[in-house]
């Protein structure tokens, strides 16, 4: 049974991702259709905002690697507080280029939240088996922010007013996280004991291949994560698309625990392979343009994309001792590269076809390619 210190540490770290990722990064996806209909941003501008966000994510990951001397808890506090400020600024009437710029900064802060929370819980507090609880924070944040957006829409609030409500909610969650982190750190490190995962051996994917697989995964899921509410809003007028987005986030919460268990049972290669194939199917489903395909896509992609993180980041942590760079930060950067390419690719294909179908197919193929890399047998080192 977990101690109260372990539970407190996991909740505190998860709240960092609720704010930094769920609110700071993905609330834009839920509000995007309302901002487009309110002519605050164009579809093209939304693509640039998405790419700026992912470019910021890449920059933040690289900065986290360079600033490795900064205590991870300070990084968590900075990332969440900066995220709250960014959410508040989006409540103001802004030119499109300013929205794009702020979304870039939001990406930077979200990467720092991801690296900081992962480093603090998995490395500093030695809670390796806390990964599923940690990464489920992203899904919780997506669900909470989506439901806040849905309530705001029902209440006829403007997108600016909804951004302000999101900022206030994120501020409360940040305060809770900061207090819980401080209380947890008062306990001595040996009070929170590391639990070795069943798949404790070094994963049979080398560092380079794991980084490439993770980058392809970033490209693969991001088209769905960026455009799903917009696609649903156009195809299903009777359904508020933000509820489908909430399903996406809600599916991510239990999936972290499921994929962690499968990782322990099957190991890194097999669990990643199955995860990426299922995710690829989910990404491709919206090309059928039926209500069932959109809902199934939300469930399958929502139920796998954070599972990828739950498998890959602890695997990267086990490889970290054998490389000369910050493995968690470089993994996050690789994911960021994929996420930059995804929206730019989708925008270019949309400009030529007026449809997201082609970009969904390309994204699904990227996930299948990542899965194929998991099939390659590991290279045996000569003794």
Q: What is the pLDDT of residues 298-342, one digit of tens each?
A: 889 989 999 999 999 888 888 877 777 778 888 988 988 998 888
Tokens of 217: 């995964």
Top pLDDT among 69 and 77 is at 77
Q: What's the pLDDT score for residue 1?
A: 65
Tokens matching residue 7: 């539970």
The C-alpha torsion from 148 through 20 and 335 to 223, rounded to 10°, is 20
Q: What is the pLDDT of residue 310?
A: 92
Rounded distance, CA 160 to CA 158, Å? 5
Confidence bin at 202 (pLDDT 50/70/90): very low
pLDDT (0 to 100) of residue 79: 96
The confidence score (pLDDT) of residue 39 equals: 84
Q: What share of the chain is helix, strand, coil (3-state, %, to 5)?
A: 80, 0, 20
What is the residue-averaged pLDDT of the chain?
86
189 against 318, higher pLDDT: 318
Residue 80's Cβ-count burial label (10 Å; 0-12, 13-18, 19+) is buried
Please say whether the beta carbons of 296 and 101 come within 8 A: no
Give the pLDDT confidence of 84-141 residue by residue, as tens digits: 999 999 999 899 999 999 999 999 999 999 999 988 998 788 787 888 999 999 999 9
Q: What is the DSSP string of 84-146?
A: HHHHHHTTS---HHHHHHHHHHHHHHHHHHHHHHHIIIIIIS--GGGHHHHHHHHHHHHHHHH
* Helices and strands (H and E) in the chain: how many: 14, 0
Pick from 5, 46, 19: nearest CA to 233:
46
Task: Count CB-CB contacts under 10 A for residue 69.
Answer: 5
Q: Integer distance in angstroms from the first to the last C-alpha of the chain?
A: 41
pLDDT band at 256 (very low <50, low <70, confident <90, very high): very high
Report DSSP state, residue 202: P
In the prediction, which pLDDT does 193 show? 47
Helix orientation angle between 357-375 and 327-353, rounded to the nearest 10 degrees: 150
Residue 76 has pLDDT above 60, yes or no: yes
In sequence order, the 6+-apart residues with CB closer than 8 A to the CB of 60 are 107, 108, 109, 110, 111, 112, 115, 332, 336
Reported as a pLDDT band with limits 50, 70 and 90, residue 183 is confident
Checking if the pLDDT of 190 tops 70, the result is: no
Predicted confidence at residue 237, as pLDDT, reads: 64
- The string of pLDDT tens digits covering residues 14-35 is 999 999 999 999 899 889 888 8
Residue 382, burial from CB neighbour count under 10 angstroms (0-12, 13-18, 19+):
exposed
Residue 307: both structure tokens together: 């599972």
| Mean pLDDT, residues 251-275 taken together | 93
Q: What is the dihedral of CA 233, 236, 242, 247, to 10 degrees?
A: -140
Q: What is the pLDDT of residues 345-364, one digit of tens each?
A: 888 898 888 888 999 999 99
Share of residues in the chain with pLDDT > 90 (%): 50
Q: What is the mean pLDDT of residues 162-179?
A: 97
The Cα 275–Cα 293 span in angstroms is 19
pLDDT exceeds cutoff 90 at 234: no
Provide the pLDDT for residue 382: 46
Where do the H-state alpha helices sit in 236-326? Answer: 241-266, 268-284, 291-302, 305-319
pTM of this structure: 0.84
What is the signed CA dihedral for 43, 49, 53, 55, rounded to 10 degrees?
100
| Highest mean pLDDT (candidates 32-36, 191-195, 216-220) | 216-220
């Amino acid at each position: 049974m977990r101690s109260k210190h372990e539970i407190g540490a996991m909740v505190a770290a998860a709240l960092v991702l609720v704010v930094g990722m769920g609110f700071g990064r993905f609330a834009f996806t839920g509000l995007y259709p309302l901002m487009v209909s309110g002519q605050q941003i164009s579809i093209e501008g939304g693509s640039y905002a998405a790419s700026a966000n992912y470019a910021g994510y890449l920059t933040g990951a690289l900065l986290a690697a360079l600033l490795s001397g900064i205590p991870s808890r300070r990084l968590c506090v900075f990332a969440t507080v900066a995220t709250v400020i960014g959410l508040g600024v989006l409540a103001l009437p802004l030119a499109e280029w300013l929205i794009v710029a702020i979304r870039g900064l939001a990406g930077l802060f979200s990467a720092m939240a991801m690296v900081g929370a992962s480093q603090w819980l998995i490395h500093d507090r030695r809670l390796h088996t806390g990964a599923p609880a940690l990464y489920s924070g992203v899904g919780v944040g997506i669900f909470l922010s989506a439901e806040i957006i849905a309530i705001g829409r029902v209440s006829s609030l403007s997108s600016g007013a909804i951004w302000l409500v999101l900022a206030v909610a994120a501020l409360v969650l940040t305060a809770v996280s900061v207090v819980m982190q401080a209380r947890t750190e008062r306990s001595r490190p040996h009070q929170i004991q590391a639990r070795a995962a069943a798949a404790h051996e070094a994963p049979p994917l080398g560092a380079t291949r794991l980084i490439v697989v993770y980058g392809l995964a970033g490209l693969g899921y991001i088209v769905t994560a960026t455009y799903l509410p917009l696609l649903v809003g156009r195809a299903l007028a009777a359904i508020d698309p933000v509820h489908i987005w909430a399903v996406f986030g809600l599916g991510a919460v239990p999936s972290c625990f499921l994929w962690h268990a499968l990782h322990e049972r099957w190991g890194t290669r097999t669990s990643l392979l199955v995860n990426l194939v299922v995710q690829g199917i989910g990404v491709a489903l919206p090309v059928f343009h039926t209500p069932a395909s959109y809902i199934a896509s939300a469930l399958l992609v929502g139920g796998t994309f954070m599972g990828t993180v739950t498998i890959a980041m602890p695997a990267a942590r086990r490889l970290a001792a054998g490389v000369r760079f910050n493995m968690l930060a470089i993994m996050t950067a690789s994911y960021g590269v994929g996420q930059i390419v995804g929206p730019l690719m989708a925008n270019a294909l949309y400009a030529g076809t007026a449809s997201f179908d082609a970009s969904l197919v390309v994204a699904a193929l990227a996930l299948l390619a990542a899965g194929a890399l998991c099939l390659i047998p590991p290279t045996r080192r000569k003794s």
